[in-house]
Structure 1
Amino acid sequence: MSDIVGEARPDLRDALELLSSQVAEGILHAEPTYQETRLPAAAIQPLVRANVAEILAALAGETSSLAPAREAGQVSAAEGMPLDLLQHAYRLAGLRIWEEVARRLRSETDTAALLRASSRVWFAIDRSSNVAVRAHLETAAGLGANMARTELLRGVLTGAVHDLETARRALGLPSDVMLVVAVTAPGLPPAALPGTAPAPEDVGVDTSRVTTRWLTHEGARLTLVAAPTSEDAHEAVACLAVHAPTGASRPFTNLAGAPAALAQARTAVRSLPLGVAGLARYGDRPLDVLLAADGERAAELASAVLSGLRDRDPRDEELLLTTIEAWFEHGGSGTRAAAALHCHRNTVLNRLARVADLTGRDINDPRAAAELYAAVRARRLQRDAA
């Protein structure tokens, strides 16, 4: 018995790109329902290519891991694609591959051999399709449970859930622990599924002592941390802050305090420079927290105190602001501020004198210095927010 699939195969895999493109186009345009899913063409095309390559490898008699089929099932479930559309995609792929095989065998007259070739093609298609379907069902089941837990966590954080003891048990949180809410700005690598604890290597803490539950909202990660002590909870939060700006609430003991803790964490993260990884715990920077909590009043303060600088060249304004910050950071020492700024002490003093002339506030007057410091911090926070 001749292997007519093998005879047709020499240039079949050379047509991989063309086949993949045609199958992807068929999926995206022949079936309008696909266009209603969240899965974009840029995501569909590499999945289709990997699966077509896998099927052609199977027809070539090569060992197959079926990893592309599993990935197709997982991704389609995660993006909310109905199962029948996934199965339809494999039927489209099968039809297109068989058309290519048949075109190369158009001179073949052995009907039985052609039927055997057709069986081989559809066996390879069904094998991949069945694996994709199982992966889709398994992923959808896991996502359903995690989505329910995510919505429960959202209700706890917003105060919409009132049966907090039932919520605690459903979320798998231990009793008699310290709780902290953290808000992490966009930038943290995503974990496997919404609403689950990040993997141990992602958090870097002893997961036998610390429990985390999180969700994403407007790109930010909201994390509820439960730990035996406040120190353990803040250690877990500090690990999140390695990747992105993170604000943490004060520790609390009852889930009823979660909404207030979320507000604290949101205020704390706004006191950090945008895009710079780090941790701000509510209460550690009371002035910054105050300024971040009322952005409108903070903007008025900055405008009123620093109005004389706004008419300067932007580079000159930045130079004077940086000098004020350095002077405060080094305890009012012109010598140490000069060393940090890589200039002479007299240069620092001259710049501070210019600030006094432009703002009407002498930095050696305690009340004027307090206003200057608060205004500069408000200006920095404004710029980071912008």
Structure 2
Amino acid sequence: MRRGTRYGALLGPLLAGGATPALVTRAARGLGLPERGRYAVVVLGTPVPDAAVAEGPDADGSRWWWGEAESREVAVVLLGPAGPARAAARLRELGAGPGGVSPEVGSLAEVGAARRLAGTALLTCEPGSREIVRLDERLPAALLVSRPELSTRLLAEVFGPLLTLVPAERSLLVETLETWLECGGSVGRAAARLGCHRNTVFNRLRRLERLTARSLSRPRELVDLVLALDVLRLSSAPP
């Protein structure tokens, strides 16, 4: 992992996007990187840990170059065999985060687009979290954060009546829905995890259906609820 003014000056035009072929070639030579290769970009929401900028390749052979773009810590990663998943795991090991990791791209000329996708992945991290997430793991949420005006509308349309409840009551229903989803739609498993009777879970879910005018048994309406839950999760306000 490398960092320095020289590296940053070479990375800047690449990360900004739209670099000319001549600039890409010059950056590749200056950084000692192939123009064609398996790359990903990382964008962090907090300062990069010192351990992340140590010289030399990682154990899996990946090589990192750190710079800055739009006031964020950004790394271009020449990937090892394990791909972006290993890059995300490495950042978690180092205690970095929150952060977003782009999908793999095939050349240095594409790292500007990859940087934008990594930045979108970062926006899907919960406020105050230390998550490191790959865009491909968060595509529905990424669509939502890419269109905040539609996300706000979705939340109001689906959860409007729910949001008028007192916070404790609202949190209870949201937690029950989240747990039910995590348990694969099993009321029994959700009840065990929540420490209550299965009828209690059933009654909470039925109340949530009445408040939102959407049924958990209708796939399209369930999609509405799941997406609205993602918007709520990503908002700065607690449920």
Could you state the TM-score of these two structures normalised by the residue count of structure 2?
Answer: 0.87
**Corresponding residue of 1:212:** 64
What are the superposed Cα offsets for residues 42-82 of structure 1, whole Å, 9 maximum, x if unpaired? xxxxxxxxxxxxxxxxxxxxxxxxxxxxxxxxxxxxxxxxx
Using the alignment, how far apart are the partners of 2:48 and 2:183 within structure 1? 33
Alpha-carbon shift at residue 238 of structure 1 (Å): 2.2
Bigger RCO (CA 8 Å, 6+ sep): 2
The one of 111, 114, 117 aligned to 1:264: 117
In 2, Cα distance between equivalents of 1:190 and 1:219: 18
Q: Which structure's residues are more often strand, by fraction?
A: 2
Match of 1:58 in 2: none
Q: Which amino acid aligns with 1:173?
A: L
User: 1:235 maps to what in 2?
Assistant: 86
Residues 159, 152 of structure 1: CA spacing in aligned structure 2 closer, same or farther, 3 A cutoff?
same
- The answer to which structure has the higher helix fraction is 1
1:344 aligns with 2:197: yes
Q: Find the aligned partners of 2:159 and 2:190 in 1 and give their Cα distance.
A: 21
The number of residue pairs the alignment matches comes to 232
Alpha carbons of structure 1 residues 161 and 176: separation in structure 2 relative to 1, 3 Å: closer
Give the distance between the partners of 1:305 and 1:265, measured in 2 at CA.
28
Q: Deviations over 1:30-52 (max 9, x none)?
A: xxxxxxxxxxxxxxxxxxxxxxx
Q: Aligned with 1:221: secondary structure?
A: strand
In 2, the alpha carbon distance for the partners of 1:384 and 1:272 equals: 14
Unaligned runs of 5+ in 1: 1-144, 192-196
2:121 and 2:142 in contact (8 A); partners too: yes
Q: Distance in 1 between matches of 2:124 and 2:92?
A: 14
Distance 1:232 1:285 in 2: 17
Partners of 1:384 and 1:234 lie apart in 2 by: 30
Q: CA deviation at 1:384?
A: 7.3
Larger radius of gyration: 1
Asked if residue 157 in structure 1 is aligned to residue 12 in structure 2, the reply is no
SS in 2 for 1:178: strand
The aligned residue for residue 254 of structure 1 is: 107
Residue in structure 2 matching 1:198, options 53, 66, 76: 53
After TM superposition, the structure 1 = structure 2 runs for residues 132-147 of structure 1, keeping only pairs within 5 Å, are 146-147=4-5
**How many percent identity over aligned positions?**
32
Tell me the TM-score normalised to structure 1 length.
Answer: 0.55
Which position in structure 1 is the counterpart of 2:40? 180
Shift of 1:146: 3.0
Query: Any stretches of 5+ residues in structure 2 without a counterpart?
Result: none
- Matched with 1:285 is 138
What SS is found at the alignment partner of 2:126? coil
Residue 164 of structure 2 corresponds to 311
CA contact (8 A) 1:247 1:281 kept: yes
What SS class does the counterpart of residue 53 from structure 2 fall into?
coil
Divergent runs of 4+, >6 A:
none
